[in-house]
Copies of this chain bind each other. A is one copy, B any other.
Amino acid sequence: MALSFQIESHDGAARCGRLLTPHGEVLTPCFMPVGTRASVKGVTPEQLKAAGATILLANTYHLALRPGDEIIRDLGGLHQFMGWDGPILTDSGGFQVFSLADLRRITDEGVIFRSHIDGQLLELTPAKAVRIQENLGSDIAMCLDECPPADADTIKLRDAVRRTIVWASQCREAHRRADQALLAIVQGGLDLVLRQECAEQMIRMDFPGYALGGFSVGEKPEQMHAVLPQCAAFLPINKPRYLMGVGRPEDIIIAVMAGIDMFDCVLPTRNGRNASAFTRSGTLRLRNASHRRDPRPLEDDCPCYACRRFSRAYLHHLFQVDEMLGPTLLSIHNITYYLRLMAALRDAIQTQRLSSFRQDWFRDAVVSQDP
């Protein structure tokens, strides 16, 4: 059994648990920093550990194109390759095929697309998505899914759900590695009937965990918030639930209250590179001249390396003169911010204070702007 999950406490629908993987334990609800191309941009594995990261996400699509999954396999797998000895989750590549690549043809057998790197014509099938992830050797792999945009009509949405179920079955069939867990992805957009149908079909196949895909694809955050509690409730209570690619801190809080256990998002690193820092009192734009002489850290009580050692004035200077250290330090802070939020959420669940935590958070925070 590559993945075990124990729930240790509840607060409403929210739960605190432990995810045990071949590369160690992860406390849930958890946040996975994104190492798209086998590197969390600008941050070393050592700095990630120090920031409190316990599990990372890497992208199958990007790694299959460069350097290639067989090279990573031959070099001892993704953990060895990227110097990260903790758990890793890989996505299936489906999301990137549908968002980055030049799509050519989708059938029940798979999808043919042109690489966004060199225009090469490539095919991704359920079996191939599994084989690539087995080559990468992640602890948690994902089934290939079809992820339609938020404005897809019901016919398109229904077709994507049907195909995602067919593909999940084929992925399950192809999956071999005993030291890797394969999770299913539930699609269906904002249509709760479709979400439920999809969830039921996936549950019938008995996966060790279930993800909600097809959010953060263009819908309004409030639309997602509205359907999350029911979408989560369609999933087994004793298995980990993963909300893919979400999101802003406020989205994560709402999703945790709906019963979600796992999250990933590029916001902490992307915003960090763009000189934007998350803080409990709102977003700080470090390029703003108001920081020019400010001796304060980004956040007084933040234990991260950037806050312990450097002033807002210094970070402002780094971005003014385009020093690489600016993006690195802000990424470290933002990842720390997300991981501290997760720890605070776990603490609130354990002490049955999640509802008041949420109230305090939304009262105090200048809710961060939509990226």
The answer to the question of A44 belonging to the interface, with a C-beta cut-off of 8 Å to chain B, is yes
Whether B325 contacts A39 by the Cβ 8 Å rule is: yes
* CB-defined contacts of A270 to chain B, threshold 8 Å: none
Nearest-Cβ distance from residue A303 to partner chain B, whole angstroms: 14
Interface segment, one of A239-247, A314-322, A333-341: A314-322
Please encode chain A, from 34 to 78, with 1 for each CB lying within 8 Å of some chain B CB and 0 for all others: 000111011111100000000000000010001100010011100
The answer to the question of A313 belonging to the interface, with a C-beta cut-off of 8 Å to chain B, is yes
Nearest-Cβ distance from residue A47 to partner chain B, whole angstroms: 8
The answer to the question of A305 belonging to the interface, with a C-beta cut-off of 8 Å to chain B, is yes
Please encode chain A, from 297 to 335, with 1 for each CB lying within 8 Å of some chain B CB and 0 for all others: 000000001000111011011101101110111000000
Choice from B82, B293, B325 contacting A75 with Cβ under 8 Å: B293
Choice from B76, B81, B305, B324 contacting A328 with Cβ under 8 Å: B324
Choice from B81, B314, B320, B327 contacting A83 with Cβ under 8 Å: B314
Report the Cα distance A293→B67, complex, angstroms: 9
Q: Which residue of B lies closest to A47 (CB)?
A: B44
Nearest-Cβ distance from residue A261 to partner chain B, whole angstroms: 29
Report the Cα distance A310→B44, complex, angstroms: 11
The answer to the question of A358 belonging to the interface, with a C-beta cut-off of 8 Å to chain B, is no
Report the Cα distance A71→B313, complex, angstroms: 9
The answer to the question of A158 belonging to the interface, with a C-beta cut-off of 8 Å to chain B, is no
Whether A324 contacts B325 by the Cβ 8 Å rule is: no
Choice from B46, B293, B320, B323 contacting A74 with Cβ under 8 Å: B293
Report the Cα distance A91→B236, complex, angstroms: 66
The answer to the question of A292 belonging to the interface, with a C-beta cut-off of 8 Å to chain B, is yes
The answer to the question of A282 belonging to the interface, with a C-beta cut-off of 8 Å to chain B, is no
Known contacts A37-B323, A305-B44, A310 near B83 by CB under 8 Å? yes
Choice from B37, B46, B71, B317 contacting A292 with Cβ under 8 Å: B71
Please encode chain A, from 160 to 188, with 1 for each CB lying within 8 Å of some chain B CB and 0 for all others: 00000000000000000000000000000
Interface residues of A in 56-115 (CB under 8 A from B): 62, 66-67, 71, 74-76, 81-83
The answer to the question of A295 belonging to the interface, with a C-beta cut-off of 8 Å to chain B, is yes
Nearest-Cβ distance from residue A371 to partner chain B, whole angstroms: 20
A to B CB contacts below 8 Å, 27 in the list: A37-B321, A37-B323, A38-B317, A39-B323, A41-B323, A41-B324, A42-B328, A44-B325, A44-B328, A44-B329, A46-B305, A62-B321, A66-B320, A67-B292, A67-B313, A67-B320, A71-B292, A71-B293, A74-B293, A75-B311, A75-B314, A81-B311, A81-B313, A81-B314, A83-B314, A324-B327, A324-B328
8 pairs of A and B residues whose beta carbons are closest in the complex: A83-B309, A42-B324, A39-B323, A67-B317, A39-B325, A37-B321, A83-B310, A66-B321
- Given A42-B328, A81-B314, 17 other A-B contacts at CB below 8 A? A39-B318, A39-B324, A41-B323, A41-B325, A44-B325, A45-B309, A62-B321, A66-B317, A67-B313, A71-B313, A74-B293, A82-B314, A83-B309, A83-B314, A324-B324, A324-B327, A328-B328
